[in-house]
């Protein structure tokens, strides 16, 4: 197979993958976004390509089409491409980069003869700088030809391809959201708690980040149970109750999240989860009852 690629949707993921594919020797053709301005900006970021602001038959001048749009747009893009490019899809590979969707989102192109699948790097893309892809898990899925090319690309980018059934992708993606997006939410909540205690924001972040980094380092080196710290890991339910009471001065989501994460910690990490969860239920419900009486 040749090494010509076109990209539809050149945001954070599309630009990063386009730039890395170009470095691997792929010739970048059409780069399609919603406007001429953003298409030109994407081509500049990738370092190659032909900017386009609409879908047409020129996207067929490729061996691989990478659809890196938001999830909600993938099916519509596939439908539009199937209409505008007719039967020219035979022999082409089309991959989307969604972590939650499978090749079914590309069904209109599959019916036109394209080999369809998906390639999703489990990495965060902030739009500032280029994230590392070495050692990153790439979920690959699709018909054999598409899956094989996706795996080859993942290895070329320094990643580790993992074949994943499409039905399992939502749970896979939820795991990534817990490990990245939700961790970010928890760290931001902790930062705002310290800011409410008159920490300057920069100092609050400086206080928390070494704690987070050491926790992740311990998790990597020692495993989850050995790395688990905090009052619940020591059976200190009195401190848990004080935490829950203190958080009631903040928006209710703080206390609700603390309670939910504490229960989840007990479920996953306690040696005997059932008695810990029963004790937690009494501690947390007892504090709520006291608050209501007041």
- Per-residue pLDDT tens over the stretch 144-180: 999 999 999 999 999 999 999 999 999 999 999 999 9
pTM equals 0.88
Sequence length of the chain is 294
- pLDDT at position 290 is 47
pLDDT digits (tens, 9 = 90+) for 88-123: 899 999 999 999 999 999 999 999 999 999 999 999
257-279 tens-digit pLDDT: 999 999 999 999 999 999 999 99
What would the pLDDT profile of 20-70 be if each residue is shown by its tens digit? 999 999 999 999 999 999 999 999 999 999 999 999 999 999 999 999 999
């Amino acid at each position: 197979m040749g090494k010509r690629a076109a990209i539809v949707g050149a945001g954070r993921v599309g630009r990063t993958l386009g730039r890395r594919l170009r470095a691997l020797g792929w010739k970048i053709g059409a780069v399609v976004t919603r406007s001429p301005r953003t298409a030109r900006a994407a081509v500049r970021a990738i370092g190659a390509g032909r900017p386009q602001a609409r879908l047409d038959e020129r996207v067929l001048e490729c061996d691989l089409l990478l659809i890196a749009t938001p999830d909600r747009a993938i099916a519509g893009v596939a439908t539009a491409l199937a209409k505008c490019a007719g039967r020219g899809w035979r022999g082409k590979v089309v991959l989307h980069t969604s972590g939650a969707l499978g090749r079914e989102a590309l069904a209109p192109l599959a019916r036109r003869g394209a080999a369809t699948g998906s390639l999703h790097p489990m990495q965060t893309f902030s739009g500032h700088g280029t994230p590392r892809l070495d050692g990153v898990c790439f979920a690959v899925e699709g018909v054999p030809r598409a899956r094989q090319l996706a795996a080859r690309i993942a290895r070329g980018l320094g990643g580790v391809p993992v074949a994943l059934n499409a039905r399992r992708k939502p749970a896979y993606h939820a795991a990534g959201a817990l490990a990245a997006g939700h961790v970010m939410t928890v760290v931001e909540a902790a930062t705002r708690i310290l800011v409410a205690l008159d920490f300057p924001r920069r100092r609050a972040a400086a206080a928390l980040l070494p704690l987070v980094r050491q926790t992740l380092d311990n998790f990597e080196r020692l495993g989850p149970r050995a790395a688990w710290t905090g009052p619940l890991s020591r059976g200190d339910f009195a401190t848990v109750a004080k935490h829950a009471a203190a958080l009631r001065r903040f928006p209710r989501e703080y206390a609700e999240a603390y309670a939910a994460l504490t229960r989840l910690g007990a479920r996953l990490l306690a040696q005997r989860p059932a008695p810990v969860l029963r004790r937690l239920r009494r501690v947390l419900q007892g504090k709520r009852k006291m608050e209501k009486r007041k």
